Amino acid sequence: MPDKKTTHHYLDGRWIKGQGEPFVSRNPADNRVIWEGASATVAEIVSACDAARNALKHWSSLDFCARVEHILRFGKRVESHKDELALLISLETGKPRWESMTEVAAVVGKIALSIKAYQERTSDVCTQTSDTKSGIRYKPQGVVAVLGPFNFPAHLSNGHIVPALLAGNTVVYKPSELAPAVAQWIIQCWHDSGLPAGVINVIQGPAASAKTLLKQDIQAVYFTGSYHAGLQIHRSFSDKPNVLLALEMGGNNALVIDHVDDTKAAVYHTLLSSFITAGQRCTSARRVLIAKNAAGDQFLECFINATKKIKVGVFTSEPEPFMGPVISHTHAKAHLDAQQALVQAGGNPLIPMTLIKPNTGFLSPGIIDMSLVKNPSDEEIFAPCVQIYRYDDFDNALELANQTRFGLIAGLLSNDPAHYQRFYHAVRTGLVHWNKPTTGAASSLPFGGTGQSGNHRPSGYFAADYCAYPVAIQEQPLLTLPEQRLPGIEL
Protein backbone atom coordinates (compact mmCIF):
# COMPACT_ATOMS: atom_id res chain seq x y z
CA MET A 1 0.00 0.00 0.00
CA PRO A 2 1.17 3.60 -0.61
CA ASP A 3 2.84 5.52 2.20
CA LYS A 4 0.07 7.53 3.88
CA LYS A 5 2.54 10.31 4.69
CA THR A 6 3.95 10.90 1.22
CA THR A 7 1.16 9.99 -1.19
CA HIS A 8 -2.21 11.68 -1.16
CA HIS A 9 -3.79 11.81 -4.61
CA TYR A 10 -3.95 9.28 -7.43
CA LEU A 11 -3.70 10.93 -10.85
CA ASP A 12 -3.32 9.19 -14.20
CA GLY A 13 -2.12 5.93 -12.65
CA ARG A 14 0.39 7.53 -10.26
CA TRP A 15 0.40 8.47 -6.59
CA ILE A 16 1.50 12.03 -5.89
CA LYS A 17 2.12 14.10 -2.80
CA GLY A 18 -0.46 16.89 -2.71
CA GLN A 19 0.48 20.55 -2.56
CA GLY A 20 -2.66 21.93 -0.93
CA GLU A 21 -3.64 22.65 2.66
CA PRO A 22 -2.69 19.86 5.09
CA PHE A 23 -5.34 17.86 6.94
CA VAL A 24 -5.51 14.66 8.94
CA SER A 25 -7.89 11.81 9.66
CA ARG A 26 -8.23 10.69 13.28
CA ASN A 27 -9.52 7.59 14.99
CA PRO A 28 -12.76 8.84 16.63
CA ALA A 29 -12.22 6.47 19.56
CA ASP A 30 -8.94 8.01 20.74
CA ASN A 31 -8.09 10.91 18.39
CA ARG A 32 -4.98 9.13 17.14
CA VAL A 33 -3.91 10.28 13.65
CA ILE A 34 -4.66 7.56 11.08
CA TRP A 35 -3.79 9.49 7.92
CA GLU A 36 -2.19 12.81 7.10
CA GLY A 37 -2.01 14.53 3.77
CA ALA A 38 -2.98 17.59 1.81
CA SER A 39 -6.08 18.84 0.04
CA ALA A 40 -5.97 18.80 -3.73
CA THR A 41 -5.07 22.06 -5.41
CA VAL A 42 -7.02 23.40 -8.36
CA ALA A 43 -4.21 22.27 -10.67
CA GLU A 44 -4.30 18.75 -9.24
CA ILE A 45 -8.08 18.55 -9.66
CA VAL A 46 -7.81 19.74 -13.25
CA SER A 47 -5.12 17.13 -13.87
CA ALA A 48 -7.37 14.40 -12.47
CA CYS A 49 -10.20 15.39 -14.81
CA ASP A 50 -7.84 15.65 -17.78
CA ALA A 51 -6.52 12.16 -17.05
CA ALA A 52 -10.05 10.76 -16.86
CA ARG A 53 -11.00 12.47 -20.12
CA ASN A 54 -7.90 11.19 -21.92
CA ALA A 55 -8.57 7.63 -20.73
CA LEU A 56 -12.25 7.67 -21.68
CA LYS A 57 -11.89 6.78 -25.36
CA HIS A 58 -9.85 3.65 -24.74
CA TRP A 59 -11.77 2.45 -21.68
CA SER A 60 -15.23 2.96 -23.17
CA SER A 61 -14.25 1.23 -26.41
CA LEU A 62 -13.13 -1.93 -24.62
CA ASP A 63 -15.36 -4.96 -24.87
CA PHE A 64 -17.58 -5.28 -21.80
CA CYS A 65 -15.90 -8.57 -20.91
CA ALA A 66 -12.51 -6.84 -20.87
CA ARG A 67 -13.77 -4.26 -18.40
CA VAL A 68 -15.26 -7.03 -16.30
CA GLU A 69 -11.86 -8.75 -16.09
CA HIS A 70 -10.27 -5.65 -14.59
CA ILE A 71 -13.06 -5.31 -12.04
CA LEU A 72 -12.93 -8.99 -11.08
CA ARG A 73 -9.20 -8.63 -10.43
CA PHE A 74 -9.98 -5.69 -8.14
CA GLY A 75 -12.48 -7.84 -6.24
CA LYS A 76 -9.94 -10.63 -5.79
CA ARG A 77 -7.42 -8.13 -4.48
CA VAL A 78 -9.89 -6.86 -1.86
CA GLU A 79 -10.94 -10.39 -0.95
CA SER A 80 -7.35 -11.51 -0.41
CA HIS A 81 -6.69 -8.56 1.94
CA LYS A 82 -10.11 -8.35 3.60
CA ASP A 83 -8.78 -8.48 7.16
CA GLU A 84 -6.45 -5.57 6.42
CA LEU A 85 -9.27 -3.47 4.99
CA ALA A 86 -11.63 -4.30 7.87
CA LEU A 87 -8.98 -3.23 10.37
CA LEU A 88 -8.47 0.07 8.56
CA ILE A 89 -12.22 0.76 8.45
CA SER A 90 -12.43 0.15 12.20
CA LEU A 91 -9.43 2.37 12.88
CA GLU A 92 -10.69 5.26 10.77
CA THR A 93 -14.43 5.15 11.52
CA GLY A 94 -14.50 3.44 14.92
CA LYS A 95 -16.83 0.68 13.74
CA PRO A 96 -16.83 -2.64 15.59
CA ARG A 97 -14.81 -5.27 13.76
CA TRP A 98 -17.89 -7.38 12.95
CA GLU A 99 -19.45 -4.43 11.16
CA SER A 100 -16.29 -3.57 9.25
CA MET A 101 -16.11 -7.16 8.01
CA THR A 102 -19.71 -6.85 6.84
CA GLU A 103 -18.77 -3.74 4.86
CA VAL A 104 -15.81 -5.48 3.23
CA ALA A 105 -18.07 -8.36 2.21
CA ALA A 106 -20.44 -5.83 0.62
CA VAL A 107 -17.56 -4.35 -1.41
CA VAL A 108 -16.76 -7.75 -2.87
CA GLY A 109 -20.39 -8.80 -3.29
CA LYS A 110 -21.23 -5.61 -5.17
CA ILE A 111 -19.16 -6.72 -8.17
CA ALA A 112 -21.20 -9.76 -9.21
CA LEU A 113 -24.46 -7.89 -8.56
CA SER A 114 -23.31 -4.93 -10.66
CA ILE A 115 -22.30 -7.17 -13.55
CA LYS A 116 -25.70 -8.87 -13.44
CA ALA A 117 -27.51 -5.51 -13.18
CA TYR A 118 -25.62 -4.06 -16.14
CA GLN A 119 -26.41 -7.06 -18.32
CA GLU A 120 -30.04 -7.08 -17.25
CA ARG A 121 -30.78 -3.37 -17.43
CA THR A 122 -28.47 -2.08 -20.18
CA SER A 123 -27.98 -4.95 -22.61
CA ASP A 124 -28.35 -4.27 -26.33
CA VAL A 125 -31.81 -4.90 -27.74
CA CYS A 126 -32.09 -5.25 -31.52
CA THR A 127 -34.67 -6.36 -34.09
CA GLN A 128 -33.93 -7.15 -37.72
CA THR A 129 -36.20 -6.50 -40.70
CA SER A 130 -35.34 -7.35 -44.29
CA ASP A 131 -32.86 -4.48 -44.63
CA THR A 132 -32.68 -2.60 -41.30
CA LYS A 133 -31.49 -3.32 -37.79
CA SER A 134 -33.33 -1.29 -35.12
CA GLY A 135 -32.79 -1.28 -31.41
CA ILE A 136 -31.17 0.16 -28.32
CA ARG A 137 -27.55 0.32 -27.31
CA TYR A 138 -26.01 2.02 -24.29
CA LYS A 139 -23.16 4.48 -23.99
CA PRO A 140 -21.34 5.67 -20.86
CA GLN A 141 -22.04 9.13 -19.50
CA GLY A 142 -18.34 10.08 -19.80
CA VAL A 143 -16.22 11.50 -16.99
CA VAL A 144 -18.13 11.10 -13.73
CA ALA A 145 -17.47 12.55 -10.29
CA VAL A 146 -18.10 10.29 -7.29
CA LEU A 147 -18.44 12.06 -3.93
CA GLY A 148 -18.21 9.52 -1.13
CA PRO A 149 -19.56 9.49 2.45
CA PHE A 150 -17.80 8.62 5.71
CA ASN A 151 -20.25 6.13 7.21
CA PHE A 152 -19.49 3.35 4.68
CA PRO A 153 -16.28 4.71 3.13
CA ALA A 154 -15.52 1.53 1.18
CA HIS A 155 -18.96 0.16 0.30
CA LEU A 156 -21.05 3.19 -0.68
CA SER A 157 -18.44 4.80 -2.93
CA ASN A 158 -17.77 1.38 -4.43
CA GLY A 159 -21.50 1.16 -5.18
CA HIS A 160 -21.07 4.05 -7.63
CA ILE A 161 -17.56 3.31 -8.90
CA VAL A 162 -18.05 -0.32 -9.97
CA PRO A 163 -21.25 0.30 -12.04
CA ALA A 164 -19.67 3.41 -13.55
CA LEU A 165 -16.57 1.54 -14.70
CA LEU A 166 -18.58 -1.41 -16.00
CA ALA A 167 -20.56 0.99 -18.19
CA GLY A 168 -17.35 2.46 -19.65
CA ASN A 169 -17.15 5.71 -17.71
CA THR A 170 -13.97 7.08 -16.20
CA VAL A 171 -14.03 8.35 -12.63
CA VAL A 172 -12.74 11.19 -10.50
CA TYR A 173 -13.37 10.21 -6.90
CA LYS A 174 -13.45 12.65 -3.98
CA PRO A 175 -13.86 10.60 -0.79
CA SER A 176 -14.98 12.03 2.52
CA GLU A 177 -12.25 14.02 4.22
CA LEU A 178 -13.15 11.97 7.32
CA ALA A 179 -12.11 8.68 5.71
CA PRO A 180 -9.19 9.33 3.32
CA ALA A 181 -7.16 6.32 4.44
CA VAL A 182 -9.84 3.80 3.44
CA ALA A 183 -10.20 5.50 0.06
CA GLN A 184 -6.45 5.38 -0.52
CA TRP A 185 -6.39 1.67 0.32
CA ILE A 186 -9.24 0.94 -2.09
CA ILE A 187 -7.59 2.86 -4.92
CA GLN A 188 -4.35 0.97 -4.42
CA CYS A 189 -6.36 -2.20 -5.04
CA TRP A 190 -7.60 -0.72 -8.32
CA HIS A 191 -4.01 0.14 -9.22
CA ASP A 192 -2.85 -3.38 -8.40
CA SER A 193 -5.63 -4.83 -10.57
CA GLY A 194 -3.94 -3.35 -13.64
CA LEU A 195 -6.62 -0.77 -14.36
CA PRO A 196 -5.39 1.48 -17.19
CA ALA A 197 -4.00 4.85 -16.13
CA GLY A 198 -6.59 7.62 -15.87
CA VAL A 199 -9.62 5.34 -15.65
CA ILE A 200 -9.95 6.14 -11.95
CA ASN A 201 -8.42 9.13 -10.19
CA VAL A 202 -8.62 10.28 -6.57
CA ILE A 203 -8.43 13.75 -5.08
CA GLN A 204 -8.45 14.20 -1.32
CA GLY A 205 -9.80 17.18 0.55
CA PRO A 206 -12.79 18.89 2.19
CA ALA A 207 -15.96 20.31 0.66
CA ALA A 208 -13.96 23.00 -1.14
CA SER A 209 -12.21 20.29 -3.17
CA ALA A 210 -15.57 18.88 -4.20
CA LYS A 211 -16.80 22.34 -5.26
CA THR A 212 -13.74 22.78 -7.48
CA LEU A 213 -14.25 19.32 -8.97
CA LEU A 214 -17.86 20.11 -9.84
CA LYS A 215 -16.75 23.15 -11.85
CA GLN A 216 -14.79 20.94 -14.26
CA ASP A 217 -15.96 19.39 -17.52
CA ILE A 218 -17.78 16.36 -16.15
CA GLN A 219 -20.86 14.56 -17.40
CA ALA A 220 -22.34 13.15 -14.18
CA VAL A 221 -22.17 13.43 -10.39
CA TYR A 222 -22.87 10.52 -8.04
CA PHE A 223 -23.33 11.73 -4.46
CA THR A 224 -24.18 10.17 -1.09
CA GLY A 225 -24.58 12.52 1.86
CA SER A 226 -26.79 15.06 3.56
CA TYR A 227 -29.74 16.87 2.02
CA HIS A 228 -28.10 20.27 2.50
CA ALA A 229 -24.96 19.20 0.62
CA GLY A 230 -27.07 17.56 -2.10
CA LEU A 231 -29.12 20.74 -2.47
CA GLN A 232 -25.94 22.76 -2.99
CA ILE A 233 -24.83 20.34 -5.69
CA HIS A 234 -28.21 20.59 -7.39
CA ARG A 235 -28.08 24.39 -7.33
CA SER A 236 -24.54 24.47 -8.69
CA PHE A 237 -25.77 22.70 -11.84
CA SER A 238 -28.90 24.80 -12.35
CA ASP A 239 -27.42 26.13 -15.61
CA LYS A 240 -26.13 22.71 -16.72
CA PRO A 241 -29.15 20.44 -17.25
CA ASN A 242 -26.97 18.23 -19.42
CA VAL A 243 -25.03 16.97 -16.36
CA LEU A 244 -26.72 13.95 -14.77
CA LEU A 245 -27.04 14.10 -10.98
CA ALA A 246 -27.67 11.00 -8.85
CA LEU A 247 -28.23 12.28 -5.32
CA GLU A 248 -28.88 10.12 -2.24
CA MET A 249 -29.61 12.43 0.67
CA GLY A 250 -30.74 10.53 3.76
CA GLY A 251 -34.02 10.69 5.62
CA ASN A 252 -36.04 11.27 8.78
CA ASN A 253 -37.34 7.72 8.70
CA ALA A 254 -40.31 6.35 10.64
CA LEU A 255 -40.67 2.88 12.17
CA VAL A 256 -44.24 2.05 13.25
CA ILE A 257 -44.75 -0.45 16.07
CA ASP A 258 -48.18 -2.06 15.54
CA HIS A 259 -49.73 -5.21 17.02
CA VAL A 260 -46.93 -7.74 17.59
CA ASP A 261 -46.88 -11.09 19.36
CA ASP A 262 -43.12 -11.23 19.90
CA THR A 263 -42.11 -8.12 21.84
CA LYS A 264 -38.46 -9.19 22.06
CA ALA A 265 -38.26 -9.47 18.27
CA ALA A 266 -39.84 -6.04 17.90
CA VAL A 267 -37.37 -4.53 20.37
CA TYR A 268 -34.42 -6.19 18.63
CA HIS A 269 -35.46 -4.92 15.19
CA THR A 270 -36.01 -1.44 16.65
CA LEU A 271 -32.55 -1.42 18.24
CA LEU A 272 -30.98 -2.35 14.89
CA SER A 273 -33.10 0.22 13.09
CA SER A 274 -32.16 2.99 15.53
CA PHE A 275 -28.62 2.42 16.75
CA ILE A 276 -26.57 0.22 14.42
CA THR A 277 -23.47 2.08 13.12
CA ALA A 278 -24.07 4.53 16.01
CA GLY A 279 -27.12 5.78 14.15
CA GLN A 280 -24.97 6.83 11.18
CA ARG A 281 -26.99 5.19 8.43
CA CYS A 282 -29.29 7.07 6.10
CA THR A 283 -31.82 4.26 6.65
CA SER A 284 -31.74 4.55 10.45
CA ALA A 285 -35.12 4.94 12.13
CA ARG A 286 -35.12 8.48 13.51
CA ARG A 287 -38.76 8.34 14.63
CA VAL A 288 -40.32 5.32 16.36
CA LEU A 289 -44.12 5.48 16.47
CA ILE A 290 -45.78 3.59 19.33
CA ALA A 291 -49.46 3.14 20.19
CA LYS A 292 -50.97 4.92 23.19
CA ASN A 293 -52.10 1.75 24.94
CA ALA A 294 -50.88 -0.86 27.41
CA ALA A 295 -49.07 -2.84 24.70
CA GLY A 296 -47.31 0.32 23.57
CA ASP A 297 -46.30 1.11 27.15
CA GLN A 298 -44.88 -2.40 27.54
CA PHE A 299 -42.92 -2.14 24.28
CA LEU A 300 -41.49 1.25 25.22
CA GLU A 301 -40.40 -0.02 28.64
CA CYS A 302 -38.63 -3.00 27.05
CA PHE A 303 -37.03 -0.79 24.40
CA ILE A 304 -35.69 1.62 27.04
CA ASN A 305 -34.29 -1.23 29.15
CA ALA A 306 -32.62 -2.85 26.13
CA THR A 307 -31.16 0.48 24.99
CA LYS A 308 -29.55 0.98 28.41
CA LYS A 309 -27.79 -2.39 28.00
CA ILE A 310 -26.25 -1.68 24.56
CA LYS A 311 -22.50 -2.20 24.64
CA VAL A 312 -20.57 0.80 23.32
CA GLY A 313 -16.79 0.63 23.00
CA VAL A 314 -13.64 0.39 20.94
CA PHE A 315 -13.51 -2.27 18.26
CA THR A 316 -10.79 -4.17 20.10
CA SER A 317 -13.02 -4.75 23.15
CA GLU A 318 -13.87 -8.30 24.23
CA PRO A 319 -16.64 -9.20 23.89
CA GLU A 320 -17.25 -7.04 20.83
CA PRO A 321 -19.45 -3.97 21.29
CA PHE A 322 -22.59 -3.34 19.30
CA MET A 323 -21.74 0.33 18.76
CA GLY A 324 -18.57 2.31 18.27
CA PRO A 325 -18.21 6.11 18.25
CA VAL A 326 -19.67 8.55 15.77
CA ILE A 327 -17.16 9.74 13.20
CA SER A 328 -15.57 12.54 15.26
CA HIS A 329 -15.73 14.50 18.49
CA THR A 330 -16.86 17.52 16.49
CA HIS A 331 -19.80 15.56 15.14
CA ALA A 332 -20.59 14.26 18.64
CA LYS A 333 -20.83 17.80 19.99
CA ALA A 334 -23.11 18.84 17.13
CA HIS A 335 -25.37 15.84 17.81
CA LEU A 336 -25.60 16.75 21.50
CA ASP A 337 -26.58 20.28 20.47
CA ALA A 338 -29.29 18.83 18.22
CA GLN A 339 -30.58 16.74 21.12
CA GLN A 340 -30.68 19.82 23.34
CA ALA A 341 -32.73 21.62 20.70
CA LEU A 342 -35.28 18.77 20.82
CA VAL A 343 -35.48 19.09 24.61
CA GLN A 344 -35.86 22.87 24.42
CA ALA A 345 -38.70 22.35 21.95
CA GLY A 346 -40.52 20.27 24.56
CA GLY A 347 -39.06 16.79 24.13
CA ASN A 348 -38.79 14.51 27.15
CA PRO A 349 -35.39 12.73 27.35
CA LEU A 350 -36.29 9.18 28.42
CA ILE A 351 -32.60 8.31 28.05
CA PRO A 352 -30.36 11.31 27.33
CA MET A 353 -27.65 10.76 24.75
CA THR A 354 -24.37 11.62 26.48
CA LEU A 355 -20.68 11.88 25.66
CA ILE A 356 -19.13 8.76 27.20
CA LYS A 357 -15.49 9.76 26.91
CA PRO A 358 -14.13 13.33 26.57
CA ASN A 359 -12.66 14.45 23.26
CA THR A 360 -13.92 11.37 21.38
CA GLY A 361 -16.91 10.41 19.27
CA PHE A 362 -18.33 8.00 21.85
CA LEU A 363 -22.01 8.71 22.49
CA SER A 364 -24.44 6.63 24.50
CA PRO A 365 -27.71 5.87 22.67
CA GLY A 366 -30.52 8.30 23.48
CA ILE A 367 -34.33 8.23 23.39
CA ILE A 368 -36.40 11.43 23.35
CA ASP A 369 -40.22 11.41 23.64
CA MET A 370 -41.50 14.08 21.25
CA SER A 371 -45.18 13.18 21.47
CA LEU A 372 -46.25 16.49 23.04
CA VAL A 373 -44.19 18.70 20.74
CA LYS A 374 -46.12 20.63 18.12
CA ASN A 375 -44.43 21.03 14.75
CA PRO A 376 -41.22 19.17 15.67
CA SER A 377 -38.09 19.84 13.64
CA ASP A 378 -37.92 17.69 10.51
CA GLU A 379 -34.17 17.14 10.41
CA GLU A 380 -31.99 14.06 10.12
CA ILE A 381 -29.89 13.70 13.29
CA PHE A 382 -27.11 11.37 12.14
CA ALA A 383 -26.48 9.88 15.57
CA PRO A 384 -27.73 7.25 18.05
CA CYS A 385 -30.68 9.44 19.02
CA VAL A 386 -34.21 8.24 18.35
CA GLN A 387 -37.44 10.18 18.80
CA ILE A 388 -40.62 8.57 20.17
CA TYR A 389 -44.09 9.56 18.98
CA ARG A 390 -47.21 8.00 20.52
CA TYR A 391 -50.22 7.54 18.22
CA ASP A 392 -53.95 7.13 18.89
CA ASP A 393 -54.83 4.61 16.16
CA PHE A 394 -53.37 3.21 12.95
CA ASP A 395 -54.70 6.09 10.85
CA ASN A 396 -52.87 8.48 13.16
CA ALA A 397 -49.71 6.34 12.82
CA LEU A 398 -49.84 6.62 9.03
CA GLU A 399 -50.32 10.37 9.30
CA LEU A 400 -47.32 10.73 11.63
CA ALA A 401 -45.15 8.51 9.43
CA ASN A 402 -45.70 10.88 6.51
CA GLN A 403 -45.04 14.06 8.50
CA THR A 404 -41.63 14.57 6.92
CA ARG A 405 -40.30 16.20 3.79
CA PHE A 406 -37.95 13.22 3.38
CA GLY A 407 -38.91 9.87 1.89
CA LEU A 408 -36.13 7.30 2.00
CA ILE A 409 -37.57 4.39 4.01
CA ALA A 410 -40.46 3.54 6.31
CA GLY A 411 -40.85 0.38 8.38
CA LEU A 412 -43.73 -1.45 10.02
CA LEU A 413 -43.54 -4.10 12.74
CA SER A 414 -46.92 -5.79 12.71
CA ASN A 415 -48.68 -9.16 12.62
CA ASP A 416 -51.56 -7.70 10.61
CA PRO A 417 -51.21 -8.19 6.80
CA ALA A 418 -54.09 -5.79 6.18
CA HIS A 419 -52.32 -3.08 8.13
CA TYR A 420 -49.18 -3.70 6.08
CA GLN A 421 -51.11 -3.24 2.84
CA ARG A 422 -52.50 0.05 4.12
CA PHE A 423 -49.02 1.06 5.27
CA TYR A 424 -47.43 0.21 1.92
CA HIS A 425 -49.96 2.25 -0.05
CA ALA A 426 -49.91 5.21 2.36
CA VAL A 427 -46.23 5.90 3.01
CA ARG A 428 -44.32 8.06 0.55
CA THR A 429 -40.89 6.42 0.52
CA GLY A 430 -38.57 4.65 -1.88
CA LEU A 431 -38.09 1.68 0.46
CA VAL A 432 -40.74 -0.07 2.54
CA HIS A 433 -39.92 -2.76 5.13
CA TRP A 434 -42.36 -5.05 6.95
CA ASN A 435 -41.13 -6.87 10.06
CA LYS A 436 -37.53 -6.10 9.09
CA PRO A 437 -35.09 -3.47 10.43
CA THR A 438 -35.08 -0.27 8.39
CA THR A 439 -31.29 -0.57 8.17
CA GLY A 440 -31.21 -3.83 6.20
CA ALA A 441 -30.95 -2.58 2.60
CA ALA A 442 -30.27 -5.19 -0.10
CA SER A 443 -27.81 -4.55 -2.95
CA SER A 444 -29.99 -6.70 -5.21
CA LEU A 445 -32.73 -4.03 -5.04
CA PRO A 446 -32.94 -0.35 -5.97
CA PHE A 447 -31.91 2.08 -3.25
CA GLY A 448 -33.26 5.61 -3.27
CA GLY A 449 -35.95 7.84 -1.87
CA THR A 450 -38.60 10.37 -2.72
CA GLY A 451 -39.06 13.91 -1.45
CA GLN A 452 -35.83 15.42 -0.14
CA SER A 453 -34.18 12.01 0.15
CA GLY A 454 -33.20 11.81 -3.50
CA ASN A 455 -33.80 12.89 -7.07
CA HIS A 456 -35.31 9.70 -8.49
CA ARG A 457 -31.96 8.15 -9.41
CA PRO A 458 -31.92 5.07 -7.16
CA SER A 459 -28.59 3.34 -6.63
CA GLY A 460 -28.11 -0.26 -5.57
CA TYR A 461 -29.17 -2.61 -8.34
CA PHE A 462 -30.47 0.33 -10.39
CA ALA A 463 -27.14 2.19 -10.47
CA ALA A 464 -26.67 0.82 -13.99
CA ASP A 465 -29.49 3.14 -15.11
CA TYR A 466 -27.62 6.36 -14.36
CA CYS A 467 -24.21 5.09 -15.45
CA ALA A 468 -25.21 4.69 -19.12
CA TYR A 469 -27.74 6.28 -21.45
CA PRO A 470 -29.79 4.56 -24.16
CA VAL A 471 -29.07 5.23 -27.82
CA ALA A 472 -31.77 4.40 -30.38
CA ILE A 473 -30.23 2.90 -33.52
CA GLN A 474 -31.46 2.23 -37.05
CA GLU A 475 -28.80 0.64 -39.22
CA GLN A 476 -28.85 -0.37 -42.87
CA PRO A 477 -25.48 -1.63 -44.13
CA LEU A 478 -26.22 -0.92 -47.80
CA LEU A 479 -27.37 2.52 -48.93
CA THR A 480 -30.30 2.09 -51.37
CA LEU A 481 -33.22 4.01 -52.75
CA PRO A 482 -36.58 2.85 -51.41
CA GLU A 483 -38.88 1.20 -53.91
CA GLN A 484 -41.64 3.66 -53.05
CA ARG A 485 -40.53 7.27 -52.88
CA LEU A 486 -42.38 10.31 -51.65
CA PRO A 487 -44.07 12.55 -54.23
CA GLY A 488 -42.55 15.84 -55.37
CA ILE A 489 -38.93 14.63 -55.60
CA GLU A 490 -37.13 14.12 -58.91
CA LEU A 491 -33.74 12.42 -59.06
d(CA 22, CA 210): 16
Residue-wise DSSP of 299-350: HHHHHHHHHHT--B--TT-SSPPSB---S-HHHHHHHHHHHHHHHHTT-EEE
Q: What angle do CA 440, 82, 321 make, to 5 degrees?
A: 55
Other CB atoms closer than 10 Å to residue 33's CB: what's the count? 12
**Catalytic residue check, 282:** yes
Residue-wise DSSP of 385-452: EEEEEEESSHHHHHHHHT-SSEESEEEEE-S-HHHHHHHHHH---SEEEESS-TT---TTSEE--EET
Exactly one of 248, 379, 380, 385 is catalytic; name it.
Answer: 248
Exactly one of 189, 282, 385, 467 is catalytic; name it.
Answer: 282
Other CB atoms closer than 10 Å to residue 245's CB: what's the count? 19
Residues 6+ apart with CB under 8 A from 369: 347, 348, 349, 350, 387, 388, 390
- Please name which of 42, 473, 447, 486 lies closest in space to residue 250, comparing C-alpha atoms: 447
Q: Show which residues are catalytic.
A: 248, 282
